[in-house]
């Protein structure tokens, strides 16, 4: 097949996907790119045709660029670095506060006053982002927000951000925290990926201490977060994990996957490695008749989780329907009467041996009626042409490798892993978003 024939086929696919999106209710709500006031609803990301249109556009770019695509990608690491710089400079908030009217823009000399950054360097940072459709350069040195850059806006005032730098993400939805975590911690880890892949000591190791990020932070990332003086990193990570639930439409997919509502009144769900408890917050709204135990490291449970629950569901802690419990999930499980052990995006943080060390204590604490539910992202090998690809699962997989020496897994890999830990596969639930399967999978197991 010639390149022109392939290009024409891709045009046909792209037009069909756009037509599908335009005809959908979600498509009607699509704001313009230069609209800095309207954030597209999460449903738009999974609207019919949206993912296909984006993927086809990427394939067209690859077809037209050819060998030069690798060169362009080799320089693209500067983009996440500039994202973190813009976030730390409070650029989106400064523009929102300072411009005369939405879309008018603000001189970079004024934007730079929100932090200690040099205005000339900030201009170059924002210019690269604007070249990637994040911010708009209205005229030389004057930048405005657009629909992409408002994703960098915490919603706070510049004064608030300057007064409490360690709490810049406190009280937010965590979306900016997640972006900053991936763009900073992930980028630092990725910078050492090749070193770790070819170093004799680490090349064939799956130990967390041999993850590429250890080259950047001189220790595994969770040890770095827990170290004195790194409270801002720890708080950012906690809010980043909270954000995943909304960004990936966790509430909708929890409602349509495993039938939590069918569990008996008072049934106890143990949210293992649950962070601040974002999943339990969602499940409590969906199934208020259940009780929850949120388990995580002491620094998360004692320093972050209480504040989240006091803000979002203060009655839960008061009436005892939710218990926050500091627990190392490599140690024996203290809860012996769980109806369900729930691990959402936990096992993908660990290589096989560590994952087995997490799952085995749960099997030992389980009764014959207890169920194990692993909530993870769907991950499958790439399919050949003429299909177009969504690179996100593979980006997340490499993030796991670089930051944690871990991995995403296929259904078959999860089933085999759980079997080795004393669990038998019962069913794989596929949550839906509207009429389409979501990117989540709920893997249900019982004690072997």
What confidence tens digit (pLDDT) does each residue in 321-338 have? Answer: 999 999 999 999 999 999
CATH superfamily of 257-392+405-447: Vaccinia Virus protein VP39 (3.40.50.150)
Q: Is the peptide bond before 386 cis (omega within 30 degrees of 0)?
A: yes
What confidence tens digit (pLDDT) does each residue in 272-281 have? Answer: 999 999 899 9
pLDDT confidence of 386, banded at 50, 70, 90? Answer: low
- What mean pLDDT, rounded, does the chain reach? 93
DSSP lists the bridge partners of residue 292 as: 269, 322
Q: Is 145 exposed, middle or buried (0-12, 13-18, 19+ CB in 10 A)?
A: buried
Contact indicator for 375, 345 with CB cutoff of 8 Å: yes
Of 94-103, 168-177, 308-317, 383-392, least confident by mean pLDDT is: 383-392
Label residues 157-182 b or e (16+ Cβ within 10 Å = b). ebebbeeeeebbbbebbbbbbbbbbb
Q: What is the pLDDT of residue 389?
A: 76
CA 351/CA 330 separation, integer angstroms: 13
Contact indicator for 359, 330 with CB cutoff of 8 Å: no
What confidence tens digit (pLDDT) does each residue in 185-198 have? Answer: 999 999 999 999 99
Contact indicator for 442, 345 with CB cutoff of 8 Å: no
Classified as helix, coil or strand, 94 is helix
Distances (CA, A) of 115 to 85, 122, 162: 10, 10, 8
In the structure encoding, which two tokens stand for residue 444, read together?
């249900």
Is the pLDDT at 10 greater than 70? The verdict is yes
pLDDT confidence of 24, banded at 50, 70, 90? Answer: confident
Q: Is 295 exposed, middle or buried (0-12, 13-18, 19+ CB in 10 A)?
A: buried
The backbone region for 59, taken as left when phi is positive above 0, alpha when psi lies in -120 to 50, beta otherwise, is alpha
Q: What is the pLDDT of residue 28?
A: 80
CA 33/CA 35 separation, integer angstroms: 5
Distances (CA, A) of 306 to 1, 165, 244, 333, 337: 60, 20, 19, 22, 24
Contact indicator for 79, 122 with CB cutoff of 8 Å: no
| Concatenated DSSP letters of 399-437 | HHHHHHS-----HHHHHHHHHHTTEEEEEEE--EETTEE
Query: Phi, psi (5° rounding) for residue 59?
Result: -70, -35
| Rounded-to-10 torsion of CA 109, 115, 121, 125 | -100
The CATH code for residues 78-163 is: 1.10.10.10
CA 49/CA 209 separation, integer angstroms: 42
Of 340-344, 377-381, 413-417, least confident by mean pLDDT is: 377-381
Is the pLDDT at 214 greater than 80? The verdict is yes
Query: Phi, psi (5° rounding) for residue 430?
Result: -110, 100
What are the residue ranges of helices labelled H in 183-272? 187-190, 193-198, 213-217, 221-226, 231-247, 250-256
Domain extent listing, the chain: 3-74, 78-163, 257-392+405-447
- 0.85 exceeded by pTM: yes
Alpha carbon of residue 362 to chain centroid: 26
| Span between the terminal Cα atoms of the chain, in Å | 52
The mean pLDDT of 45-56, rounded to a whole number, is: 84
Of 363, 355, 301, 367, residue with least CA distance to 332: 363
Active site members = 348
CA 203/CA 275 separation, integer angstroms: 30
Q: What is the pLDDT of residue 219?
A: 94
pLDDT more than 70, % of the chain: 97
What confidence tens digit (pLDDT) does each residue in 342-367 have? Answer: 999 999 999 999 999 999 999 999 99
pLDDT more than 90, % of the chain: 80
CA 289/CA 304 separation, integer angstroms: 25
What's 385's DSSP letter?
A: T
Is the pLDDT at 42 greater than 70? The verdict is no
pLDDT confidence of 43, banded at 50, 70, 90? Answer: low
CA 319/CA 314 separation, integer angstroms: 9
Q: Do the strands 340-344 and 371-377 form a parallel or antiparallel pair, or are they unpaired?
A: parallel
What confidence tens digit (pLDDT) does each residue in 115-169 have? Answer: 999 999 999 999 999 999 999 999 999 999 999 999 999 999 999 999 999 999 9
Q: What is the pLDDT of residue 135?
A: 98
Is the pLDDT at 384 greater than 80? The verdict is no
Is the pLDDT at 252 greater than 80? The verdict is no
Contact indicator for 228, 299 with CB cutoff of 8 Å: no
């Amino acid at each position: 097949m010639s390149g022109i024939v392939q290009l024409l086929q891709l045009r046909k696919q792209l037009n069909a996907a756009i037509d599908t999106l335009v005809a959908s209710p979600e498509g009607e709500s699509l704001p313009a790119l230069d609209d800095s006031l309207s954030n597209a609803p999460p449903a738009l990301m999974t609207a019919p045709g949206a993912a296909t249109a984006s993927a086809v556009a990427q394939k067209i770019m690859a077809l037209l660029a050819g060998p030069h695509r690798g060169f362009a990608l080799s320089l693209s690491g500067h983009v996440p670095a500039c994202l973190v710089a813009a976030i730390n400079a409070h650029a989106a908030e400064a523009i929102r506060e300072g411009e005369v009217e939405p879309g008018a823009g603000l001189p970079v000399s004024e934007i730079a006053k929100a932090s200690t950054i040099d205005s000339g360097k900030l201009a170059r940072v924002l210019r690269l982002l604007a070249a990637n459709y994040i911010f708009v350069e209205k005229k030389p040195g004057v930048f405005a927000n657009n629909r992409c850059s408002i994703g960098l806006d915490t919603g706070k005032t510049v004064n608030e951000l300057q007064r409490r730098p360690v709490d810049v993400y406190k009280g937010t939805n965590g979306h900016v925290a997640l972006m900053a975590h991936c763009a900073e911690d992930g980028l630092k880890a990725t910078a050492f990926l090749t070193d770790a892949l070819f170093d004799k000591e680490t090349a064939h190791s799956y130990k967390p201490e041999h993850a590429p990020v250890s080259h950047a932070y001189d220790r595994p990332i969770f040890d770095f977060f827990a170290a004195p003086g790194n409270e801002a990193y720890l708080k950012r990570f906690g809010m980043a994990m909270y954000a995943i639930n909304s960004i990936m439409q966790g509430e909708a997919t929890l409602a349509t996957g495993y039938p939590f509502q069918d569990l008996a009144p008072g049934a106890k769900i143990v949210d293992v490695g649950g962070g601040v408890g974002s999943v339990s917050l969602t499940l409590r709204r969906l199934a208020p008749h259940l009780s929850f135990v949120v388990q995580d490291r002491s620094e998360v449970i004692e320093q972050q989780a209480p504040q989240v629950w006091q803000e979002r569901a203060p009655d839960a802690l008061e009436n005892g329907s939710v218990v926050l419990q500091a627990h190392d999930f490599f140690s024996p499980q203290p809860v012996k009467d769980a109806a369900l052990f729930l691990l959402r995006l936990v096992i993908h943080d660990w290589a096989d041996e560590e994952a087995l060390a997490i799952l085995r204590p749960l099997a030992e604490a389980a009764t014959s009626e207890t169920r194990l539910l692993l909530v993870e992202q769907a991950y499958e090998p790439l399919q050949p042409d003429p299909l177009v690809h969504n690179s996100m699962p593979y980006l997340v997989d490499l993030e796991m490798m670089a930051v944690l020496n871990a991995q995403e897994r296929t259904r078959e890999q999860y089933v085999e892993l759980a079997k080795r830990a004393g669990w038998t596969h019962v069913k794989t639930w596929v949550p839906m978003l509207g009429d389409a399967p979501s990117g989540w999978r709920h893997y249900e197991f019982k004690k072997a």
